[in-house]
Structure 1
């Protein structure tokens, strides 16, 4: 019980989940490492000092043992304790004291740092990446990003541990050992210094090559994991097109690239083993030979021969360890450098310094000469949104209509500030959205999309995502309004959880499209934001269910400013105004009837989608606008 309390005390010295928001990570290698040690530095420093002390003790231990050998050779056994008993007890006390030294060092290393250090880094890196813009995730594999978070956190820990623990121990041990050996006879230094020179040459040749192949391996591993994860994430599409073999081949090409780096690494490893053993054997033979020669000359005693030989044998084992740790160090260096490219990528959408929370008393949305284009800009670049101006009155319900690529979804993404504008501005109740916090902006907007993906959690968690502080009664009420309550009660998962506790699978794969859509609608109903965005909100529902929840959607829209994209006619007919877009501009606006009468783009789209038949009554129209 007492030992558990000691372990727990050291484990609780470091908070792996600090509340303070993480700072942006620097791009330089050593500055990146230094930033990663924030909150850990006192413990790393303490461990380093104790490690140095242990290195000194271990080297001096050989000198102590050499002294004991000399006593054994010079003193009669019957008089050993009488003449050297006090010294032997003192040496025994020093050895026992070293147990405390090692115990505190290992508690700092393994309890305070080994687990907490990488977890703290994962926590900070994850929060940092959650704040990245949408374009960042559109350009990356989800599996690749998560692999970078996991790999880099461990690599930063291991790099710091090797630099501050293992290398400190080796350097201090070797310096102390040189001092001890020189105290016996300076000639004994020759084998050690010769070994050190050759060992340094071997490190200089092998380590940079290991570093290079390790960087390539880290990137190849992340690519391999990303491709495999991508196939699992889109497994329905893979099976729908019968492309399991194609996906296996796609992953195999990444696996081959990874194996190419593995073979290169293992060739270097074999070379290290052979060279390292050769140097170690040469050191042992040279040390033993020089020590014996000096003994035959009467220059040193048996204790010096024993101590020097023991030190050479210790270096034999240590040299293998050091070489592997150096290889590991540069492998971790490569992993960290690879991770820096992802983790230190600057955010493209940032809250301005001193940004205030958005306040939405009315819900007016105004676009003023908005311009935006994706990717690289140039004189010939075609803007997705071009000089777009529109005012949506408080509580007004508009529909965005247009061909694919007209800029409808981009306009909604700009309103959510997933991207920053090139020109113009967007105002909500007179507040420029670029000057308010992103969290408050998106908290004021509810959105239901056509492609609804749910979190791999319970139904309850997914609905409460709209308002985490809602009560059970409020959550169930939202589910009822979305016509989801009845089917939710029938759900179960392989672990025996049922109803609202049942888990929905990754991206909600265990549910039908209509069920996912109804849960998404319930989530937005629970959020009850003053501005509502609907993007094919009922597209996945059958006619009977759509009719059943249409009244709920109307109730949801009451008192809200609504922007709807490409809805079925029943929803479009309920809009106060339709905005027809083409080439990122407004080309027409008005209600359904006036736009049909105008005979422009809207009328052509309508004629195309309704098969050329335009009904006289809205309630008889069955088409949908794109």
Structure 2
């Protein structure tokens, strides 16, 4: 039975991953609760049943007291046996069934599966954001908001449908009982309900605002802690532990202040509530005594009324704490909405088709891009890379080399012009198909905290182990991989590499990245300082592998060390986003322009045809 119930909601059911979540609180809540609305209805019905059964027990207390008062012991079962049997069935059969139904619907169906469903959908949507979205925030804060959104949305729904509904039924039952006995007896209960609602109206918006402030402070605190841990090597190298402690302390003090502000409000409200509860208990007891003394109220009714009031008073503090928790979750959801409910900056166009690359021609056609600035980083840039051509981009830092690569991968939207691959506008094809046809090795190689095998096979997850090892050998990584062991004694290709690959040296990470590209075997290859982290001996050793990798592919390479790209078919020299020179290495050296000056300033590195290049340089 449990297994059947637990499979009623599929957290990974299909949905529109590109659809922006609603920006209003109610809309956001409903968008993520809509898949489970049927089961929320079942929870509502079961909560009503539980509330009715529990409140009826207090009414039965009065009936039972009056029954004992009016009946003689020898005639009790004979005269009222069937009634007592009905009460026994209610207590022994109906009550356990409705409670069990309420618990399993909440705990087996709604709570775990809804949490997973919301986390999955918010994470999947967030993955679709543009690169700039992730560059503008702490990774820890983003993750915190994704993880906490699921339980917050779920708890709001469950609290309203289960807890608050249950308490409301008790209050209505007490008011109804008192009204049937005497309007005077109902008066304190009605006044208490109105004052309680007024207190809630005062408390709720203030608690909501302070909870949002506390939630934002908590996310900032988490973000700063994660930022310190993620960059722990930099912290150690620059001896900045004291500064990091100070930064986290500042965030912790801000969070503590927000937390105290929230609890100051709670303490004041709870004090007023205690005064109201005491007044209700006293007035109900006094009126019950007065009505009983005048014969307007039986002993059983007095017992039921006092018991109901005691139960409501006990629940009122619980309700206030529940409402506080409810609006803490409201604050969490509102904060998460600020992160999640943003439209994707880069989306596939309607009707976008997969990119097909039969040849591999790349053409920049009057491309302009500004990074949101008034002055362009790139203005009306045009060039073509022929199918199978190996082209190097050369220029000082800030010349626009990496920007060209980012635009080709459609990590940013163009401000003008087009980029075509085999005649297909990259803005008109699906992003996944575009990036699956391009293999990239970057200078700043970060690996996933997974096994070596998973990292190499990331571009081709279905690759067999033999193919993974072959790629590693071509990248001259197989030997050091065989010697790896992680902290759980996993060895070789099963060893984990640590966050961003911190357990490996820069050269080892670079070789893993090259192996990953070799295995992916895409028709277009981008090498962005691909061998910058390698020593000359290793670089020379894998050069043949890179030459083999480049065969039959269109290649776009960036290198500050010019000797690594001098042998390419063509070099494009950039300055402030414009092409200032273009040609082969020999042609550019002969012109004695920008490239020649850069070449003469550099020393070291390696050349495939070292002597010929040296002669050309002379």
Residue of structure 2 in register with 1:47 after alignment: 43
Alignment of 1:78-477 (within 5 A): 78-95=74-91, 96-375=93-372, 377=373, 381-477=374-470
- Residues of 2 paired with 1:243 and 1:516: CA distance? 26
Q: Is the 2:586–2:616 Cα contact (8 Å) retained in structure 1?
A: no
Moved more, 125-134 or 567-576: 567-576
Aligned to 2:73: 77
Instruction: Give 1:7's aligned residue.
Output: 2
Deviations 1:491-524 (A, max 9, x none): 0011010000000000000000000000000000
User: What is the CA distance between 1:564 and its match in structure 2?
Assistant: 0.3
Aligned with residue 506 of structure 2, among 510, 513, 527: 513
Structure-2-length-normalised TM-score:
0.96
What secondary structure is seen at the aligned counterpart in 2 of 1:39?
helix
Answer yes or no: is the 8 Å Cα contact 1:43–1:113 preserved in 2: yes
Query: What is the CA–CA distance in structure 2 between the aligned matches of 1:355 and 1:205, rounded to whole Å?
Result: 52
Residue 26 of structure 1 is matched in structure 2 by 22
- How many angstroms does 1:46 deviate by? 0.5
Quick check: 317-326 or 192-201, which moved more? Answer: 192-201
Task: Find the residue that maps to 1:115 and give its secondary structure.
Answer: helix
Alpha-carbon distance change, 407 to 79 in structure 1, aligned in 2, over 3 angstroms:
same
**Are residues 616 and 132 of structure 1, via their aligned partners in 2, closer, same or farther at CA, if it must alter by over 3 Å?**
closer
- 8 Å Cα contact 1:363-1:428 kept in structure 2: yes
Distance between the aligned counterparts of 1:419 and 1:38, measured in 2? 33
The alpha carbon displacement at 1:121 in A equals: 0.6
User: For 1:34 and 1:385, how far apart are their aligned partners in 2?
Assistant: 44
SS in 1 for 2:27: helix
Aligned 8 A contact 2:365 2:381 in 1: yes
- Alpha-carbon separation, structure 2, partners of 1:72 and 1:198: 37
C-alpha contact (below 8 Å) 1:60/1:180 kept by paired residues: no
Query: 1:620: Cα distance to partner?
Result: 4.5
What is the SS of the residue equivalent to 1:148? helix
Evaluate the alpha carbon distance shift between residue 618 and residue 509 of structure 1 in structure 2; reply closer, same or farther with a 3 A threshold.
Answer: farther
User: Hey, what's the Cα distance between the residues in 1 that align with 2:276 and 2:112?
Assistant: 36
Partners of 2:174 and 2:305 within 8 A in 1: no
Q: Is the 8 A contact 1:484 1:515 kept in 2?
A: yes
Q: Please give the alpha-carbon distance, in whole angstroms, between the structure 2 residues aligned to 1:411 and 1:173.
A: 67
**Structure 1 position 403, deviation (Å):** 1.1
Aligned-pair CA distance for 1:10: 1.4
- The farther-off stretch of 516-525 and 57-66 is 57-66
CA spacing shift, 1:66–1:73, aligned 2, 3 Å: same
Asked if the contact 1:188/1:290 (under 8 Å) is kept, the reply is: yes
Matched, 1:550 2:537: no
Given the alignment of the two structures, is residue 588 of structure 1 paired with residue 581 of structure 2, yes or no?
yes
Task: Please list the CA deviations of residues 307-361 of structure 1 after superposition, one character each: whole Å capped at 9, or x if unmatched.
Answer: 0000110011110111111111111111111111110111110001111100000
Distance 1:463 1:111 in 2: 39
Distance in 2 (alpha carbons) for counterparts of 1:616 and 1:324:
77
Instruction: State the partner residue of 2:599.
Output: 606
How many residues end up aligned between the 2 structures? 612
Shift in alpha-carbon separation, 1:622–1:537, aligned structure 2, 3 A: farther
Question: Which residue of structure 2 lines up, in the alignment, with residue 36 of structure 1?
Answer: 32
* Structural RMSD (CA): 1.7
Matches of 1:437 and 1:172, distance apart in 2? 54
Q: Is the 8 A contact 1:231 1:247 kept in 2?
A: yes
Shift of 1:363: 0.2
Mapped contact 1:386–1:583 kept (Cα < 8 A): no
Matches of 2:361 and 2:560 in 1, distance apart?
22
In the alignment, does 2:514 pair up with 1:539? Answer: no
Deviations 1:336-393 (A, max 9, x none): 1111111011111000111110000000000000001113x4xxx1111110001100
Does the residue aligned with 1:209 lie in a helix, a strand or coil? Answer: helix
How many Å separate the matches in 2 of 1:195 and 1:562?
A: 78
Displacement of 1:528 in angstroms is 0.2
CA distance in 2, matches of 1:329, 1:154: 11
Mean CA deviation greater in 265-274 or 187-196: 265-274
State whether residues 171 and 312 of structure 2, in contact with CA within 8 Å, keep that contact through their aligned partners in structure 1.
no
Per-residue CA deviation, residues 223-242 of structure 1 (Å, 9 max, x unaligned), is 11001101111111111111
Equivalent position of 2:570 in the other structure? 577
What's the offset of the Cα at 1:608? 3.0
Structure 1 position 17 matched with structure 2 position 12: yes
Q: CA deviation at 1:49?
A: 1.2
Secondary structure class of the residue paired with 1:298: coil
Q: Distance between the aligned counterparts of 2:99 and 2:616, measured in 1?
A: 79
* Secondary structure, counterpart of 1:503 in structure 2: coil
Question: Which digits, 9 at most, give the CA deviation of each residue in 1:124-155, with x for residues without a partner?
Answer: 11111111100100101100100000111111
Mapped partners of 1:32, 1:19: distance in 2: 18
Bigger mean CA deviation after superposition, 293-302 or 202-211? 202-211
In structure 1, the gaps of 5 or more residues are 1-5
Task: Identify which range, 473-482 or 55-64, moves more after superposition.
Answer: 55-64
Counterpart-to-counterpart distance in 2, 1:480 and 1:570: 24
Alpha-carbon distance between aligned partners in 2 of 1:587 and 1:593, rounded to the nearest angstrom: 16
